[in-house]
Structure 1
Amino acid sequence: MNPANPAPGFRIGGWHVLAAVVAFFGIVIAVDTIFVVAAYRTFPGQVSTTPYEDGLRHNRSVARLRAQSALGWRAMAAPAQGRVEVEIVDQTGRLIAGLQLSGDLQRPATEAGRIALDFAEVSPGRYAAPAMPESGAWDLRFTATGSAAAPFEAERRLTWP
């Protein structure tokens, strides 16, 4: 062997690069295929065992919300010292008296610590329920019944200091 002329070593040629690229994408496609097949076998896509009944329930909910929207009622809610206050007004802005309200407070991210509320009418169209939640954000959900109209449902985010 002549030191001035070393023996030819391994050289990467066009066929080597082609084989490496084909092998790389072949492995990626094979792994993706395995994952897709495994995902499909473990979850075929059925979300509910009663999809027809769920659809009917959803349609009734949409109809109820449309009827409520047609009433034109609006609800305002606010935290107060030791209680929750709610006002319900009609489309002309008049307070609606004589309703029975029921509802609850719960944290936005969990159902732990839910507080059931017992509302009473403190003045015509103004309702209050005793509540002493911890400070922070709470979701108020309530239903008003007792008028000739369908039940009025509302949800408001309230924050206690």
Structure 2
Amino acid sequence: MTTNVASSFRITGWHVLFAVVAFFGVVIAVDATFLVAAYRSHPGQVSVTPYEDGLAYNRDVARHRAQLALGWSATAAQAPGGVAVQVADPAGRPVRGLVLTGLLRRPATEAGEIPLTFAETAPGSYFAPARPTTGAWDLEANAKNKPFKAERRLTWP
């Protein structure tokens, strides 16, 4: 013989309402916690001066177009005691009389930048003294008197 024991607990509409509100309350609280943690760790601001960076970008695009019109090419290499850069025109002739400045920086960090001032050692050949530490360095060489910029990655043993 089977006897049914009547339970005094019944799920009502109030129980369902409480469960749904509690479920979404937990989801919203967890999402809000993650959102605050993400915003505090990286607010999304890449630059402090985005408008000025945009203007500089437009100048860089114009400078790049002017450099393409020149058709110059550059090679760069580490040399004993520094960095050597050679600049040639489209016909392969050396480009003389440039006033080159530059910067060596690590690819992954802004720490340890080395400013460079190049001197023309031979027609189209420029040298800047530098003693970077071992590893990879990014070279950026800019001509002050012409729209020319060269970027290369160099590795010191």
TM-score (norm 1): 0.68
For 1:153, give the aligned amino acid.
Answer: K
* More displaced stretch, 84-93 vs 111-120: 111-120
In 1: Cα distance, 2:54 partner to 2:115 partner: 29
What is the percentage of aligned positions where both structures have the same residue?
57
Alignment of 1:1-161 (within 5 A): 5=3, 7-8=5-6, 20=19, 23-25=22-24, 27-29=26-28, 32=31, 51=51, 54-146=53-145, 150-161=146-157
* Aligned-residue RMSD, C-alpha: 3.8
C-alpha displacement of 1:9:
5.4
Work out the CA distance in 2 between the residues paired with 1:129 and 1:61. Answer: 24
Structure 1 pair 54/93, CA: closer, same or farther in 2 (3 Å)?
Answer: same
Say if 2:116 and 2:128, in contact at 8 Å, map to a contact too.
Answer: yes
Query: How many pairs align?
Result: 149
After superposition, the C-alpha distances for 1:18-60 in whole angstroms (9 at most, x for unaligned) are 97456424542576579879x7xxx8x9x76773x55443322
Within 2, Cα distance between the matches of 1:157 and 1:10? Answer: 78
Cα separation, partners in 2 of 1:36 and 1:84, compared to 1, 3 Å:
closer
C-alpha offsets along residues 96-127 of structure 1, whole Å, 9 cap, x if unaligned?
12222111212223333222223122221111
Whether the 8 Å CA contact 2:66–2:147 is kept in 1: the answer is: no
Using structure 2 for the length normalisation, give the TM-score.
0.69
